[in-house]
Structure 1
Amino acid sequence: MRPVALAAATALLLVIAGCSSQNDAPPSAGSTPTPGTSTAAVTSDVTYPVTVDTPLGEVTLDKQPTRIVSLSPSATESLFAIGAGTQVVAADEYSTYPANAPKTDLSGFEPNVEAISGYKPDLVVMSNDTGGTAAALEKLGVPVFLSPAPTTLDQGYDEIAVLGQATGHADETAQVVRTMRDDIATALAKAPDKPVRIYHELDSQYHSASSHSFLGSIYTKMGATNIADAADKDKTGYPQLTEEAVVKADPQLMVITDQVDYTADDVKKRPGWADVAAVKNGNIVTVDADIASRWGPRLPQLVETIADAMTKASTSATDSPAPATSSATATAR
Structure 2
Amino acid sequence: MTRRMLTAAIAVTALLLGGCGSGGSDDGAGGQPAASASGAAYPATAGGVTLDARPERIVSLAPTATEVLFAIDAGSQVVAVDDQSTYPPEAPRSELSGFKPNAEAIAAKNPDLVVVSDDLNKIVDQLTKLKIPVLFAPAAKTLDDTYGQIAQLGTLTGHPAEAAALTGRMRADIDKIVKGVPARSAPLTYYYELDPTYYTVTSQTFVGSIFAMVGLKNVADGAKTAYPQLSQEALVSADPDMIFLADSKCCAQSPATVKARKGWSGVTAVKTGQVVALDDDIASRWGPRVVDLVRSVADAVAKVPA
What's the TM-score bracket when you normalise by the shorter of the two chains? 0.7 to 0.9
Asked if structure 1 preserves the Cα contact closer than 8 Å seen for 2:113 and 2:134, the reply is yes
Q: Aligned to 1:94, which of 84, 100, 117?
A: 84
Q: State the alpha-carbon separation in 2 of the partners of residues 86 and 12 from structure 1.
A: 35
| TM-aligned CA distance change 1:83 to 1:124, over 3 Å | same
What's the offset of the Cα at 1:11?
3.1
Deviations 1:205-245 (A, max 9, x none): 101121122111111111210111122x23xx321111111
5 Å-filtered alignment, 1:150-161, equals 150-161=140-151
- Partner SS for 1:230: coil
What's the offset of the Cα at 1:131?
1.6
Alignment of 1:192 onto 2:186: no
Aligned to 1:205: 197
| TM-aligned CA distance change 1:7 to 1:95, over 3 Å | closer
Aligned to 2:259: 268
| TM-aligned CA distance change 1:190 to 1:93, over 3 Å | same
- Partner SS for 1:229: coil
What's the offset of the Cα at 1:177?
0.6
Alignment of 1:128 onto 2:145: no
Aligned to 1:44: 38
Aligned to 1:33: none
Aligned to 1:246: 235
What's the offset of the Cα at 1:155?
1.2
Alignment of 1:179 onto 2:169: yes
Q: State the alpha-carbon separation in 2 of the partners of residues 216 and 71 from structure 1.
A: 25
Q: Give the aligned length.
A: 278
Over aligned residue pairs, what C-alpha RMSD do you find?
2.1
TM-score using structure 2 length:
0.86
TM-score using structure 1 length:
0.79
Q: Aligned to 2:68, which of 74, 78, 87?
A: 78
- Partner SS for 2:191: strand
Q: State the alpha-carbon separation in 2 of the partners of residues 110 and 168 from structure 1.
A: 29
Q: State the alpha-carbon separation in 2 of the partners of residues 46 and 314 from structure 1.
A: 50
Amino acid in structure 2 at the alignment position of 1:72: A
Q: State the alpha-carbon separation in 2 of the partners of residues 215 and 262 from structure 1.
A: 19
- Partner SS for 1:274: helix
Amino acid in structure 2 at the alignment position of 1:196: L
Gaps of 5+ in 1: 1-5, 17-41, 316-333
Alignment of 1:285 onto 2:276: yes
Asked if structure 1 preserves the Cα contact closer than 8 Å seen for 2:12 and 2:227, the reply is no
Gaps of 5+ in 2: 1-5, 17-35
What's the offset of the Cα at 1:7?
8.3
Asked if structure 2 preserves the Cα contact closer than 8 Å seen for 1:192 and 1:314, the reply is no
Amino acid in structure 2 at the alignment position of 1:180: M
Amino acid in structure 1 at the alignment position of 2:237: K
